[in-house]
Amino acid sequence: MTSKVLLVDDDAAVRDALAQTLELNDLDAVTAASFVVAKDHITPQFDGVIVSDIRMPGRDGFHLLDYAHGVDEELPVILLTGEGDIPMAVKAMGHGAFDFLEKPCAAADLLAVLERALKTRALVLENRRLKVQLERGDPAARMLFGTSPQADGLRKKVRSVAPTGAEVLVSGPPGSGISKVAEVVHLMSNLAQGPFVKRPGAGLSAADFDELCTAGAGGSIFIDEVSALPDATQYAVLDRLEQGAGTRVIAGSTVNLADLVEAGTFNAGLFYRLDVMRVRVPSLNDRPEDIPVLYRHYVAQAAEQAGIAVPEISPDHLAALMAQDWPGNARSLMSAAMRFVLGMPEETTETAGLGLVEQLAQVERSLLIAALGRQNGRAAAAAQALKLPRKTFYDKMARYGIRPEDYRRSGT
């Protein structure tokens, strides 16, 4: 997805050159030759940043700065200055300009400033979205869908962990919604009015983490796939947490960090510091009864994004979804919903072409797995929950190749 930049300059050659530079770097350039043209693009819904020349006929860059901040006082405006305009640009910084660059500016300098401005803008918009969600009620009930015992247990766990203020480790299989759970932990904490900053662990340097602590001061930092943190950064994060980071750290992982600690590939001290509060996100295959409610939500969401009416979902279609495996978890179910809304053929549905007996077998297998997941891999308890004789339950597990030990959660 590209990021939007509004370029305002009365010099067509300068406008075109800047626009080409941005587009070559995957930035969506919208150009305007004057304040009058530019102001039509500046609305409360504008999600980009502005780059404007100061000296223009009629209303100049200062008028544009004032107008933009009248619409949204947190909208980043970068001013381009001529050689004699630098004192004026410095004064503009005191009136809220994000930064200024001297013309002609090097492409690398412009892109560096834009990167900072776009990150700032994205953070502002994300926190506004979170604030709106917070004001609408219980984030756990509103954002963590499902009627299964696993979904209910996840919501209860998040509600108990969120107010503590301690570090949290959110784990689960890929695509299960780890990032969403981390967001809900933030929204239900005492830091909900502060920023929620998300960054992947891969390539995150110690200096980057220091910047995150500054950006997320008074709020929460979510490090996704924390296992990918470089060794030096692991030590830096641990040191910062020991000293007091000034913000809450929520870590996400799709791998077992305890195994990495044992193998010597993850810092043991950091693991034990992050593992103060633990939240495990269940896989979709462990809770097939949640598939209908999740799928209906994703279909409605996809239809809204596509600007079309929500299509009818047949019971047979939902039954087929419940009967198949979802190795990609909620993310793959979301993709299936989008394809359904757009009328694209569903090539991954494993029940296509199967008869009633085969489809019922797949549903039965899913229910056996769900029961084992709820009972932490305890076969006897799962058999009792399904009101099946123990021998019948074991026979069915053998028939479908199900191993109870695959559904035992470590540390519980």
Reduced to 3 states (helix: H, G, I; strand: E, B; else coil), residue 15 is helix
* CATH topology agreement for domains 3-127 and 139-282: yes
Q: How far apart are CA 289 and CA 406, in angstroms?
A: 20
Residue 141 structure tokens: 């009930």
pLDDT digits (tens, 9 = 90+) for 220-267: 999 999 999 999 999 999 998 988 767 899 999 999 999 999 999 999
| 238, 267 Cβ separation under 8 angstroms | yes
Which CATH number is 3-127 given?
A: 3.40.50.2300
H-only helix segments in 26-167: 35-38, 61-71, 86-94, 107-135, 139-143, 149-161
Q: How far apart are CA 411 and CA 54, in angstroms?
A: 61
Confidence of residue 355 (pLDDT cuts 50, 70, 90): low
Give burial (CB, 10 Å; 0-12/13-18/19+) of 40. Answer: exposed
Strand bridging mode 168-171 / 27-32: unpaired
The CATH architecture to which 139-282 belongs is: 3-Layer(aba) Sandwich (3.40)
Sheet holding 196-200, edge to edge: 196-200, 220-224, 248-253, 168-171, 277-280
376-395: average pLDDT: 86
Q: How far apart are CA 177 and CA 333, in angstroms?
A: 11
More confident residue, 269 or 142: 269
More confident residue, 134 or 175: 175
Q: What percent of the chain has pLDDT over 90?
A: 36
Query: What is the pLDDT, as a whole number, of residue 1?
Result: 40
Distances (CA, A) of 353 to 89, 204, 325: 68, 47, 16
Query: What is the pLDDT, as a whole number, of residue 26?
Result: 84
Question: Could you state, in order of their start, the residue ranges of all structural domains in the chain?
Answer: 3-127, 139-282, 285-407
